[in-house]
Every structure is written in structure tokens, then in C-alpha cells.
Structure 1
Amino acid sequence: MNMFSYKTRLNGQERHISAADERKLTLVFQQCDEGGKGYLRREDLKIAIVMLFGYKPSKSETNLLMDPVLQTHFPGVPLDHFIRLMGRKLSAQDPYEKARQIFMAFDVHCRGFLTVEDFKKAFACVAPHLPERTVQEVFREVDRDSDGHVSFLDFECVISCGQDDDL
């Protein structure tokens, strides 16, 4: 199997693991592979999942992930198996979840749209030294139909276009 051809199935559709995702998974594997032994032990795997997904896996989830490897009498999860396992988890994630969470954090009034004032308040918290003019330019860029409101669709489009640059 080619290094960049990992595929997973989600809702009956095949989804490819991007080269950026594979690089990210490989980097996390290397960071968690204490001692450079070429595999992740149970505790290493838990740390990798925290790094990738932001939660500590339960004992039963860890057992499910480790079981096929341990049945082959290998002491841990090797890189290729890790990429397949974590690639499936990445593909199963809602592709809009990240954008939805950010949008909801900006939409403090729960209106379903954002105004330039919402942008100013959010940017004041996360980038207080950013000039107001820059915030207004960002808002105009995101407000694709220039109606003074940024919908989730406007927001999601901008967020998802920038996600390929992660890593």
C-alpha cells in the first residue's frame, strides 16, 4: 500500500486520509514513541489520542485499539497500524464540528449569525493588539454576500478553506 493512499469508509463513502493528516499522525506517533522503539505501548497510545483528539480514551476503547495488535504478539501499535486506526477516527469526525464550535463561541447572542461587533469582541479577547481596521477587513472578507451578517455557511466556508494549511 502506498504511504499516501490510506482509505477509510464512512457512511458508505470512501474517504482518503490526506497527506497532511498522515504527516500529522506520523509526527504524533514519533513524539509518543518513547525511546524510538517503533511502536506505541498502551500509555503511549493514550497520550497520542489526547494529542490528536483532545480526550483521554477509556480503558475499553484502548483495549479495542490494542487487541488486534496484541493478538499478533507484537508489544504495541506500529506506525502503519496507528495511521490506519487514527485515520479512521479522523475520517469519522464531523468535518463541520471545528467550524461549528468556533462559530458558536463567536455567536454569544445565539442569533445564528455574526455581526462586525461580534467579531470585534471575539478578536479583542484572542488578539487584543490587532487593529480594528484589520478586524473589519476580516469581517468583510467572511461576509460573502455583504449583508452585514456572517452566517454559519459563510463562516464554515472560510474556516474549511484554511484547514488544509494545518500542520
Structure 2
Amino acid sequence: MGQKAYGWGWRLALALSLVVVTVLTVTPARADEDEPESVGPYPGTVSQQTGYPLGDAVRRLEKAVRSNGLTLVATVNSGGRGATGATVILVSSSDYWGRILKANQLAGMEMPIRLYVADNGNKTAAVIYRTPSSIFALYDSPELDRLSGELDQVFAKVVDDAIGE
């Protein structure tokens, strides 16, 4: 009996190993170089590489947030460098927030929206965020869909103004 169980255990481990290797070797589709890459565990998460170090990318984003009529709620730094260096920029808009609350009171908890800036460790950083339309899609509201579509364009412009060439 022990030998049979041992044999099944090896077969199961081999089968699981083959599944893991197969999953790990599948290469995800990449966005064109001029398009943001879709990343993360959630749909609507985009990432754009910058040619700027973390601090410069953060300052440029803060400036672009303000110049696009949004409110910079807070900037929170991890304090790390390289693989542990990251900053979260919390962005809101009184106008949009009021309209979102009017469309769905509970959806107001999704504001402010986060821009995550990660140090790549090679004197460049990446800007990662979830599109407002992906955040508010959970509420299944045509009015929120319309508002978040507008916000998608605003956030794309903020990122483009900050890191676009």
C-alpha cells in the first residue's frame, strides 16, 4: 500500500510540475512600444515606462495632475530605492467626485484614484494605475460608465503630459 501511494504521489507531483511549467512559459501579449502595457491582476491596470528616475517622475506627475485641473490629495513614498522604491500619488477632483456621488453614493469610496510610481532600479520608473472605467465598472451604472470614460481620458492625459516625449 505504501508503494502504491508513493507512486501516485510522484505522478501527481509530475503532473502539477508540467502544468506549472506550461503556465510559466506562456508569454503574455505585449503592447506596442507607444501604447501602455496592460498589467496586474485586475483588468484595466496599465503601466507606462518612463525615462525618468523615480523622484523626477513623481514631480512631473504632481505637476501634470495640477495642470489638468485635478487635486493632488497626497503623495506617499515607500522610502526605499531600487526594487523597493515606490510612491503612491492620490488624485481626486471635487467636480468628478460630486458627480460620482450623485450617480452612486457608494462609488464615492473609490476616490481618490491612485497613481503608483515604481522604481525600476535602472534610474527609470514606471507609472501604474487602474483606469477609472475599470474601477467604476463594478457599480454597473451607465452614468458612472460615462463619467469614468471622461476620467480615463483625463488620467491618460496626465500621464502623457508627465512622461510623454
**TM-score, with length taken from structure 1:** 0.22
Higher relative contact order (CA 8 A, sep 6+): 2
**TM-score, with length taken from structure 2:** 0.22
Q: Which has the higher strand share?
A: 2
Determine which structure has more spread, i.e. the larger CA radius of gyration.
2
